[in-house]
């Protein structure tokens, strides 16, 4: 196992350690004794070994979460839960550099992006800590004869299985953990098999924060094993999943056994529209960020770019030039602007999409530079001469690949909305224009859970995030996600 020389001693020691499962407040070996390799995607080399949870481990973790739910955790008041969450946020910040470096090795992203993510993670925890005392019901006036006192209240939904992806491992863990813990649920968290390390470190910080045993359990392993067992487990009351639309559909099927609640944050093929009155330089940079951030491995990536014909060449050339000028490399190298894809499988998938587009008549704008051979890299790719029926236009690629098309009549917002909505997804859309009235009228016609104007994907804890159609069910962030971790109970008391 070879680690990058840029790692701090603490990060290197953690990564090289013996990684176990967190069940009922203890780090334990997997019941079947299986382990699996963890790879640095920038080199393709093995950097660690993690424990592979099996069905028995899932049973133990769910039972521990149930005991905590019905035992000590149920007696924690809102302020007490808030104090624990605030302590966790402080520990995340105190261990921020270690967590960021682990995230780089786990996922491959540049260190600057990982550091920014840690700051956002801590603030997300604090945001939900503030909600522990504020999710109230309401009193209800009863129309029946007599004197009544009636009210509603939010009660924790119960034991929650949370299955998270590999593109933003720590952020996705916190997006799910923080609201569930804020309302009083208990959790079994399964990180993606490609990126287990930051979740393990997070588990250490959760224990250090003082959460009772069993409130958070962490099972590393595979989706086909631990993930599938959690989705169908009769002791789980809810599954929260982020990942592909195909896997989300399988989770829905697995949840039918006990009709457990399900929330899903799934795929996207998000459009970005640039009108001729936009701040063109800002729009070019924004469009580039929308597709190249995290090597395009973002569910809300702006992967379909529509530009008015008068400025099309200028915008496309600008975005392609940004992509061509990006320095690819290991996330711990100071000059790196773009890291690798997560795996060899993902690299081949993305490369196949590019080949498919070229075979169907698309062309690469700019230099079309080749990525380095070591690691799982794909160079930024901007495709022109694309058509709506092409696979690269219709399907989620999940890599740094942008498809571009022109539009002419900028006032026909209905036609542009039909273009935006011509997809099975509905996660995000971007609009660049100086005419805010037009932007608001256009946004109302787009079938997407989030729309940003003159910006890309505003990552704000208070803003709900989620999709229409096959981009998922439910929302992350904001008050709305808290309600999805509770059941609404009505109580009516006859007084006379």
Please indicate whether residue 185 is annotated as part of the active site.
no
Beta strands in 95-249 (DSSP E): 139-140, 148-156, 159-163, 186-190, 216-218, 238-242
What pLDDT was estimated at residue 476?
A: 96
Binning the chain into helix, strand and coil, the percentages to the nearest 5 are 40, 20, 40
Per-residue pLDDT in tens (0 to 9) along the chain, 496 residues: 678 889 999 999 999 999 999 999 999 999 999 999 999 999 999 999 999 999 999 999 999 999 999 999 999 999 999 999 999 999 999 999 999 999 999 999 999 999 999 989 999 999 999 999 999 999 999 999 999 999 999 999 999 999 999 999 999 999 999 999 999 999 999 999 999 999 999 999 999 999 999 999 999 999 999 999 999 999 999 999 999 999 999 999 999 999 999 999 999 999 999 999 999 999 999 999 999 999 999 999 999 999 999 999 999 999 999 999 999 999 999 999 999 999 999 999 999 999 999 999 999 998 766 666 689 999 999 999 999 999 999 999 999 999 999 999 999 999 999 999 999 999 999 999 999 999 999 999 999 999 999 998 788 999 999 999 999 999 999 999 999 999 999 999 999 8
Question: Distance between CA 100 and CA 10 in Å, rounded?
Answer: 12
Which residues, in sequence order, are CB contacts of 363 under 8 Å at separation 6+? 383, 384, 385
Alpha helices in 233-333 (DSSP H): 245-255, 280-292, 312-325
| Structural contact between residues 333 and 372, judged by C-beta atoms closer than 8 angstroms | no
Question: Distance between CA 261 and CA 265 in Å, rounded?
Answer: 14
> Closest Cα partner for 449 from 433, 431, 432, 471?
471
Which residues, in sequence order, are CB contacts of 301 under 8 Å at separation 6+? 268, 270, 290, 291, 293, 398
If DSSP codes are grouped into helix, strand and coil, which group holds residue 359? helix
Q: Tell me whether residue 304 is exposed, middle or buried, using C-beta atoms within 10 angstroms of its C-beta: 0 to 12, 13 to 18, 19 or more.
A: buried
| Structural contact between residues 243 and 190, judged by C-beta atoms closer than 8 angstroms | no
- A 10 A CB-CB count for 384 gives 19
Q: Helices 169-183 & 197-209, crossing angle to 10 degrees?
A: 30
Q: For residue 360, give both structure tokens.
A: 């169907």
Q: Helices 169-183 & 96-107, crossing angle to 10 degrees?
A: 120
pTM assigned to the model? 0.95
Alpha helices in 224-311 (DSSP H): 228-232, 245-255, 280-292
User: Which of 265, 335, 395, 410 is labelled catalytic?
Assistant: 265
Q: Tell me whether residue 481 is exposed, middle or buried, using C-beta atoms within 10 angstroms of its C-beta: 0 to 12, 13 to 18, 19 or more.
A: buried
The single-letter DSSP state of residue 476 is B
| Structural contact between residues 186 and 62, judged by C-beta atoms closer than 8 angstroms | no
User: Which of 299, 317, 480, 487 is labelled catalytic?
Assistant: 299
Question: Distance between CA 57 and CA 488 in Å, rounded?
Answer: 31
Half-sphere exposure at residue 22, Cβ-oriented, CA atoms within 13 angstroms: 27
Q: Is 296 left (phi over 0), alpha (psi -120 to 50) or beta?
A: left
Residue found under tokens 């009193």: 139
What pLDDT was estimated at residue 374?
A: 83
The H or E element that residue 124 is part of is helix 111-129
CA 137 to chain CA mean position, Å: 29
Please indicate whether residue 299 is annotated as part of the active site.
yes
The H or E element that residue 274 is part of is strand 271-274
What pLDDT was estimated at residue 369?
A: 62
């Amino acid at each position: 196992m070879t680690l990058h020389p840029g790692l701090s001693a603490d990060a290197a020691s953690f990564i090289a350690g013996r990684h176990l499962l967190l069940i009922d407040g203890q780090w334990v070996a997997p019941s079947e004794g299986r382990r699996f390799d963890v790879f640095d995607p920038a080199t393709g080399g093995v950097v660690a070994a993690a424990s592979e949870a099996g069905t028995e481990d899932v049973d133990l973790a769910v039972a521990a979460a149930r005991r905590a739910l019905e035992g000590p955790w149920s007696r924690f008041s809102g302020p007490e839960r808030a104090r624990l969450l605030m302590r966790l946020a402080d520990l995340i910040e105190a261990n921020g550099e270690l967590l960021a470096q682990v995230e780089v090795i786990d996922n491959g992203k540049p260190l600057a992006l990982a550091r920014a993510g840690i700051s956002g993670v801590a603030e997300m925890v604090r945001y939900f800590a503030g909600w522990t005392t504020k999710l109230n019901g309401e009193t209800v006036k009863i129309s029946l004869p007599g004197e009544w006192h009636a009210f509603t209240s939010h009660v924790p939904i119960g034991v929650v299985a949370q299955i998270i992806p590999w593109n933003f491992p720590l952020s996705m863990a916190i997006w799910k953990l923080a609201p569930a813990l804020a309302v009083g649920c208990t959790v079994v968290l399964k990180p993606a098999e490609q990126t287990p390390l930051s979740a393990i470190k997070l588990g250490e910080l959760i224990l250090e924060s003082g959460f009772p045993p069993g409130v958070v359990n962490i099972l590393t392993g595979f989706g086909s094993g631990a993930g599938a067992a959690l989705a169908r487990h009769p002791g789980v009351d809810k599954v929260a999943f982020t990942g592909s639309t195909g896997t989300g559909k399988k989770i829905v099927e697995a949840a039918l056994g006990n009709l457990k609640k399900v929330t899903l944050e799934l795929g996207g093929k998000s459009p970005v529209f640039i009108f001729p009155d936009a701040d063109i330089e800002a729009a070019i940079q924004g469009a580039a960020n929308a597709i190249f951030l995290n090597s395009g491995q973002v569910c809300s990536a702006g992967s379909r770019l529509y530009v008015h014909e008068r400025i099309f060449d200028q915008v496309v050339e600008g975005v392609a030039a940004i992509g061509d000028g990006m320095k690819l490399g290991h996330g711990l190298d100071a000059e790196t602007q773009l890291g690798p894809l997560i795996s060899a499988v993902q690299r081949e998938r993305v490369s196949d999409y590019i080949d498919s587009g070229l075979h169907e008549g698309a062309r690469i704008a700019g230099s079309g530079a080749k990525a380095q051979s070591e690691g799982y890299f794909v160079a930024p790719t901007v495709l022109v001469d694309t058509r709506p029926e092409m696979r690269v236009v219709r399907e989620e690629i999940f890599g740094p690949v942008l498809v571009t098309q022109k539009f002419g009549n900028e006032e026909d917002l209905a036609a542009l909305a039909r273009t935006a909505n011509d997809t099975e997804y509905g996660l995000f859309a971007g609009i660049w224009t100086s005419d805010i009235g037009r932007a608001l009228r256009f946004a109302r016609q787009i079938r997407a859970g989030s729309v940003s104007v003159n910006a890309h994907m505003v990552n704000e804890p208070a803003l709900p995030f989620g999709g229409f159609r096959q981009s998922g069910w439910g929302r992350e962030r904001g008050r709305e996600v808290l309600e999805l971790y509770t059941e609404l109970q009505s109580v009516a008391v006859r007084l006379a």
